[in-house]
Chain A
Amino acid sequence: MTVVETLLVFVVAPLAVVLLAYGLVLLPGLKNRDRYKPGTPWGHDAVWYEPHPVGGAHAGGHDAHDEHGTGDQVAALTIGETAGAPRRTAAGGARGTW
């Protein structure tokens, strides 16, 4: 066994295996790097998602809305924006923290 063969078998090959394992572990995490982690600042604007109307997405008359589009996204109002206090509509629910 020459020196080159020894190096290839005992240094390069194990290194390649280790790097392969390293890559397999780390690569999937690179895609969703900006996913939510509890305790870190959210840093996104407030959004309010609504379900599609029962009549279908085209009932409302917005044109640039493809069939597989995501649900209507309504810009969230700033709380306390209207002058008149709206009547209370809540009848129940629940609350939780994490």
Chain B
Amino acid sequence: MATELEDTREPIVDDQEGPKASPFSPAELLRLDEALTMSSRETGLRFTLYIGELPADTRAGAEELHARSVGDTSQSVLIAVAPDQRVLEIVTGSAAARRLPDRACALAVLTMTGRFGAGDLVGGIVNGLRQLSDQAGHPAAHRPRY
């Protein structure tokens, strides 16, 4: 597949200025940053966001990325967006999966893909993160005691 792409890559890159380092504007990056940081802080889980190509088996690729993420992988939630393949994968670690059941993840995926289909990547990601953090709630240590 990569060799096939090599042939078509030349003229496309010549017309444009090539792959840019950041696909988002500073304002969009701030929104993403705030959404990632706040949802991670509120829930005590570690949300990370991958945007780029995934291998043909997107699920296995996303799970491999999750296995490689730094820190406590059981607490981490990976949101992998592959705009070229038009696939979104959410991978939860073992501790995170108890607070974010697959059904909640599927609901967030539905919210996000709806926005992605309209071309709004950042809005979809921010709303999905909000939904996931709402579902996960606060960790026991942060919960108010009555």
Chain A residues with CB under 8 Å of B66's CB are 89-90
- Known A42-B23, A71-B33, A97-B113; judge A89-B67 contact (CB<8 A): yes
Tell me the bound Cα distance from A79 to B114 in angstroms: 27
Partner of A95, one of B19, B23, B88, B116: B88
In the complex, A58 has a CB within 8 A of chain B = no
Interface members, chain A 59-98 (any B CB < 8 Å): 68, 70-71, 73, 76-77, 79-80, 82, 86-98
Chain A residues with CB under 8 Å of B7's CB are none
Given contacts A35-B119, A94-B106, 7 further A-B contacts (CB under 8 A): A42-B53, A43-B16, A48-B52, A49-B33, A52-B33, A71-B36, A80-B64
Partner of B87, one of A88, A89, A97: A97
Question: Which 5 interchain pairs have the tightest Cβ spacing?
Answer: A46-B52, A94-B105, A92-B97, A51-B40, A96-B109
Chain B proximity of A86: nearest CB distance (Å): 4
Chain B residues with CB under 8 Å of A43's CB are 12, 16, 19-20
Q: Would you call B93 and A96 a contact (CB within 8 A)?
A: no
Q: Would you call B41 and A77 a contact (CB within 8 A)?
A: no
Interface size on A, residues (CB 8 A): 41
Chain A residues with CB under 8 Å of B20's CB are 43-45
- B interface residue count range (under 10 / 10 to 19 / 20 to 34 / 35 or more): 35 or more
In the complex, A28 has a CB within 8 A of chain B = no
In the complex, A6 has a CB within 8 A of chain B = no
In the complex, B74 has a CB within 8 A of chain A = yes
Chain A proximity of B16: nearest CB distance (Å): 7
In the complex, B96 has a CB within 8 A of chain A = yes
Chain B proximity of A58: nearest CB distance (Å): 14
Q: Would you call B52 and A44 a contact (CB within 8 A)?
A: yes
In the complex, B59 has a CB within 8 A of chain A = yes
Find the residue from A39, A47, A80, A87 having the highest chain B CB count within 10 A. Answer: A47
Chain A residues with CB under 8 Å of B53's CB are 42, 46
